Every structure is written in structure tokens, then in C-alpha cells.
Amino acid sequence: MAKKLKNEKELVKKAIALGVAYGEKRGVVEFEATDSANEKLEYIYRLLVHDKLIAPIPEDQISQKSIKHRLAIWASKQ
């Protein structure tokens, strides 16, 4: 596992905000207030991989933790 980012928690929050805005702007998703953070993270991850904005995680290594980490790195570059 890659080393944990210093402010990963904040970056995950930023990733959710950016990802939700990106998905809605693109017109592919409308998130509900009842959607959990984990559901949003997984959807955002799959959308960004589909749009080739981030590299996919090998299927056998996908977990909430790895998705959060990958999206935190993405958010840190935005």
C-alpha cells in the first residue's frame, strides 16, 4: 500500500466534492442526500477510471481504503 497522505481525510472530502460536481456537470449522475460517502467514492472512482482521469486499481486490490487513497491523490492534484 502506498504511504498514507498527510491530510488524506481532508483530501477524501475534497475528492467527494470535486467528484460529485464533475459527475453532475457531466450529466451522468445525480447524488442523493442519502447516498453514503462510500457509495459516492466508489461511483466517482469508477467514473474517473472510465474517463481515463485516474489509473485503475487492480480488481483484486480494490477496497474502500485503496479507493479513498487513489481519490485523495487525485484531489491533491486538482
56-72 confidence digits (pLDDT tens):
999 999 999 999 999 99
Cα 76 to Cα 78: distance, rounded to the nearest angstrom: 6
Angle at 26 between CA 21 and CA 30, to 5 degrees: 60
pTM: 0.90
Look at residue 70 and tell me if it is in a domain.
yes
What is the domain count for the chain? Answer: 1
Tell me the C-alpha to C-alpha distance, in Å, between residue 45 and each of 26, 27.
15, 16
Name the residue range of residue 43's domain: 8-22+36-76
Q: How far is CA 68 from the centre of its chain?
A: 6
Q: At 66, which CATH number?
A: 1.20.120.1930
Please report which confidence band the pLDDT of residue 5 belongs to, taking 50, 70 and 90 as the band edges: confident
Q: 19-56 pLDDT, tens per residue?
A: 999 999 999 999 998 999 999 999 999 999 999 999 99
